Amino acid sequence: MLSDANVAAVWLTLKLATITTVILLIVGTPLAWWLARTPSKWKGVVGAVVALPLVLPPTVLGFYLLITLGPHGPIGQLTQFLGWGVLPFTFAGLVVASVFYSMPFVVQPLQQAFEAVGARPLEVAATLRASPWDAFFTVVLPLAKPGFITAAILGFAHTVGEFGVVLMIGGNIPERTRVVSVQIYDHVEALEYAEAHVLAGGMLLFSFLVLLALYSRKRTSAWK
Residues that bind another protein (CB under 8 A): 120-121, 123-132, 134-135, 138-139, 142-143, 221, 223-224
CB of 107 to another protein, least distance (A): 23
User: Distance (Å, rounded) from C-alpha 123 to C-alpha 113?
Assistant: 17
Nearer to another protein, 216 or 220 (CB): 220
**Under a CB-based contact definition with an 8 Å cutoff, are residues 60 and 128 in contact?**
no
Nearer to another protein, 10 or 135 (CB): 135
CB of 142 to another protein, least distance (A): 5
**Under a CB-based contact definition with an 8 Å cutoff, are residues 33 and 27 in contact?**
no
Nearer to another protein, 120 or 194 (CB): 120
CB of 196 to another protein, least distance (A): 47
Nearer to another protein, 125 or 179 (CB): 125
Give the dihedral sign, CA 54/55/59/60: negative
CB of 198 to another protein, least distance (A): 43
User: Distance (Å, rounded) from C-alpha 144 to C-alpha 147?
Assistant: 5
Distance from the Cα of residue 39 to its chain's centroid: 26
